[in-house]
Amino acid sequence: MSIFNVIAETKLIPLTTITSRDDVEPLCEVLVEASIPLVEITLRDERTLDIIDEFKKFPEVYLGVGTIRSELHIDLAINASASFLITPGYSENLLNYAKQKNMPLIPGVQTPSEIMKANEAGLSTLKFFPAELSGGLDRLKAYKSVFPDIKFIPTGGITNKNALSYLSLDNVSAVGASALISPDLVYSKSWSEIKSNLKDSKELITKN
């Protein structure tokens, strides 16, 4: 099964930032227990660069590395056995480098021009970011008729209150949500609360 099929089947990509190796194992455990076998680790803290390779010990979790902004980030993600990469915007250079390394990359897009560039480069799954600040549901509805072959992963401002509305759209394959595993919860090692958040979201999505 391709990583794009896993994402579409799960319908949810939790996002978080990890700054300690000690947090990787309990994070992977709660993800598996919540039946959400993937996570996006964002490179928003320099400390994360030095520890994402810890995820190699937990192959049962598909690792996505987000906020990719350089070839070095791609190399570090590959070394960590990442399953996919996510960039905050569209970069032809990074896309080509990821292709050379045979790594799936999902670029962030907002505008029709960015979507067309990504599609011309052979991509059909794109991150719509920041979703709520970029027109949200209305913009994605408008994109459906113009880009019928594109699937979006809206990220940014996604909560349990609006996730189902996004997932009801035919051109949305999954949503990315950072509120489920907030850095504060990770820092305080609130694994029970994180697991509860993940299970609640999984149940909400599965029932509808």
40 assigned to active site: yes
Which strands form 125-128's sheet, in the order they lie side by side?
Answer: 151-154, 125-128, 105-109, 84-87, 62-66, 38-42, 12-16, 175-177
Of 127, 121, 198, the closest CA to residue 166 belongs to 127
User: CB 50: neighbour CB atoms within 10 A?
Assistant: 11
For 10, residues 6+ apart whose C-beta sits below 8 A from its C-beta are: 36, 37, 38, 174
Q: Out of 11, 127, 151, 202, which one is annotated catalytic?
A: 127
Report residue 132 CA to chain centroid gap.
16
207 assigned to active site: no
Q: Out of 40, 151, 195, 202, which one is annotated catalytic?
A: 40
| 8 A C-beta contact, residue 23 and residue 189 | yes
Question: Which residues are catalytically annotated?
Answer: 40, 127
